[in-house]
Amino acid sequence: MDQTSTDIRPCAGLRIGDKAPDFTARSTLGEVRLNDYRGRWLILFSHPADFTPVCTTEFVELAKVADQFEQRDCTLMALSVDSLFSHFAWLRMIRDQFGAEIRFPIVEDPTLVIGRAYGMVAPNDSDSATVRTTFFIDPQGDIRAMTCYPASIGRSIPELLRMLDALQAVDHQHALAPANWQVGEPLLDQPLPDLDSVYNAPDATTWFLRHKGKGTGK
């Protein structure tokens, strides 16, 4: 299946819980197919353009912690409208100037077919320079979380890791992650939809707000 496959719907308006649209495309690590990553976590993210200041800082920081994503059984995959050879030249500059080697795939999307399929760009947009969108895709190929940053603001790399940790922890323990949760902190129990549990609770909050064991992800 290639980028022009009819399985990719223009501007799909994807939501959490949807299946991530499959695609096959050229990348800096050779041809990639999204569905080949089933069985592990995948973070697919767009960047407006190569050789831009904010994007460069993001990739330098991602290179520093790429092994932390790998330890969590997660692949990073970037996407932009730029050509494969533009990606190559940009990665060479990042390595030479910042000492950071990018070893995860960067996909070329010159026709914006993939970007439109994922709702990263609108149907009539001629470039991808408006937003930074991130999709957290679980081992079953389901979209579990999405973030969207403007082109003028770089992503928080620690928050990417925290989101991944939280998604893995709530799956592993069938629990909920509270505000500002970090690995090793307590998770929350799912409240029971049962009137007796409401009336039998020792106080007015513990029937729906109870801590569960410490969340450690996988």
Residue type, 216: T
pLDDT at 58: 97
Model pLDDT for residues 168-177, shown as the tens digit of each residue: 999 999 999 9
Residue 216's pLDDT is 60
The CATH architecture one would assign to domain 24-154 is 3-Layer(aba) Sandwich (3.40)
**Mean pLDDT rounded to a whole number for the chain:** 89
For residue 211 the two structure tokens come to 């801590």
Global confidence as pTM: 0.88
Cβ contacts of 187 within 8 Å, gap of 6 or more: 169, 170, 173, 175, 176, 177, 178, 181, 211, 212, 213, 214, 215
Query: The tokens 């200041």 sit on which residue?
Result: 53
Residue 146: strand, helix, or coil: strand
Residue the block writes with tokens 């992650």: 177
Sign of CA dihedral 37, 218, 146, 105: negative
Residue whose entry in the numeric block shows the structure tokens 């920081």: 61
Q: Domain locations in the chain? A: 24-154, 174-214
Check residue 215 and give its pLDDT.
58
- C-alpha span between 211 and 214 (Å, rounded): 9
Please say if 55 is a catalytic residue.
yes
> Model confidence over 107-165: pLDDT tens digits?
999 988 898 889 887 555 555 555 689 999 999 999 999 999 988 999 999 999 999 99
Kindly state the helix (H) or strand (E) to which residue 136 belongs, with its residue range: strand 131-137
Which of 11, 55, 74, 148 is labelled catalytic? 55
